Amino acid sequence: MINKYNIPLKSIESIYLIHKKSKVKYYFWGVFILIILVIFLPWTQNIRTIGNITTLKQENRPQKINALIPGKINQWFVKEGDFVKKGDTILILSEIKEDYLDPKLIERTQSQVDAKIGSIEYYKGKIGSTSSQINNLNEAKKLKIAQLLNKANQLNNKLASEKAELTAVENEAQLLKNQYDRQLEMFNQGLVSQTQLQQRSIAYQNSIAKKIVSENKIAQTQQEIINNKIEQNSVEQEYTEKINKATGDNFQNLSQIATSNAEVEKLNNQVSNYKIRNERYVVTAPQDGQIIQANKSGIGEILKEGETISIIVPTKTEYAVELFVDPVDIPLINIHQNVRFTFDGFPAIVFSGWPENSYGTFSGNIVSYENAIGENGKYRVLVAPDTLYKKWPDQLRLGTGAHAIILLKNVPIWYEIWREINGFPAEFYKPKKKGEK
């Protein structure tokens, strides 16, 4: 370019590029074509949320070590930060309740058990003695009844004999009566003397006397038979009362044995409880881990029953991530769904729509989600490590923050832009089951 003085100015030519052709339209069309190509690229829909490191199993989470019984701290064996093995002694307690202060409490209670067992054996001996007494009474009863039955048979035979004798006496009296009547008739006719009549009369009176004697004997024998039956009933009642009394004593002894057995079991239970209580004076580690947050310090402090002594963090854990998802996104969550993470303290370059091109991310799979909303207004989702991807860092600790990208369906970028502009939800789908085409 030449000014009014005809002097060429190279600076103006360099700045305004007057002699060069413009390439703006080429840049415009290039960018336009690039944008067209880009919007047709695949984009992975996702849900962005945050969570923190937890464990997959409840027993791997930090747990409180509680005092099972009240007591006074006698000695500490660990300090905060120490690593312990399962069964290692943490501290030793001493008793503070007056019911358990006796150092020989177990021995004295065991002596009571032995005494009760001895009384049980005593009652068993009484039962054996009473049983023998019952057997003897039964035998004596049988013998006495047999004796009375034998006597009854004798009386029945005697009664039969006396009845036969009475029959003979009655026949004789009837014969003598007939003779007396004929003699009296002959006397009235003057055929016999009065002396002969008197002889017949005396013979007849004697037969009447014999008949009366026989009848008295029969009546006496019948009375003896009745007395025999009364005696049998008396013997039956007497021995029954004795046997019933002995049987009642047996039942009372059995009741005493049952009561003593119950007391023995109760005392045995107390002995077992005392032994278990003695074992609980020593507080041990429930599993391998690190002792943190000791709530008591020093010697002589009092612990209440169930009070927390400290917290143990297990050394062996299966890490997982707990996420909190908004209610609007929970229908998009499915078991075994893939999730990508970035953890606090670990550098990462993240392209949320292209998870395969991200750097420093870790993978996991959803193993469960809660159907009840939490106090924070979100649903809790539990994610386990994906063993087929990349191992999670060994430096992770419980409570470490995690930024999650829950992967959904692949769609074109233009569709995702259109969905975001219109505020539509992400594509709802369920993952295919194993073996499903």
- What's the pLDDT score for residue 169? 80
Q: In a 3-state reduction of DSSP, which class is residue 309?
A: strand
- Residue spans per domain, the chain: 44-60+317-422, 63-95+281-313, 105-276
Looking at residues 274-294, what average pLDDT do you find? 90
For the chain, percent of residues with pLDDT exceeding 90:
17
pTM for this model (two decimals): 0.59
Which residues, other chains included, contact 168 with Cβ-Cβ below 8 Å and sequence gap of 6+? none
274/254 Cα distance (integer angstroms) = 30
Q: Of 136-150, 178-192, 370-384, 421-435, which gets the smallest average pLDDT?
A: 421-435
- What's the pLDDT score for residue 18? 55
β-strands 71-76, 302-303 pairing: antiparallel
* pLDDT above 60 for 433: no
Neighbours of 13 (CB within 10 A): 13
* pLDDT above 50 for 2: no
CB 426 within 8 A of CB 419: yes
CA 267 to chain centre: 22
CB 212 within 8 A of CB 170: no
Q: How confident is the model at residue 133 (pLDDT cuts 50, 70, 90)?
A: confident
CATH topology of domain 63-95+281-313: OB fold (Dihydrolipoamide Acetyltransferase, E2P) (2.40.50)
Which homologous superfamily is 105-276 in?
Answer: Helix Hairpins (1.10.287.620)
386/392 Cα distance (integer angstroms) = 9
Neighbours of 187 (CB within 10 A): 16
Question: Taking the domain 44-60+317-422, which CATH number applies?
Answer: 2.40.30.170
Looking at residues 99-103, what average pLDDT do you find? 84
- List, for residues 195-229, the tens digit of each pLDDT value: 777 877 888 788 888 888 888 888 888 888 888 88
Q: How confident is the model at residue 1 (pLDDT cuts 50, 70, 90)?
A: very low
CA 275 to chain centre: 22
Which residues, other chains included, contact 236 with Cβ-Cβ below 8 Å and sequence gap of 6+? 141, 145
Looking at residues 312-326, what average pLDDT do you find? 89
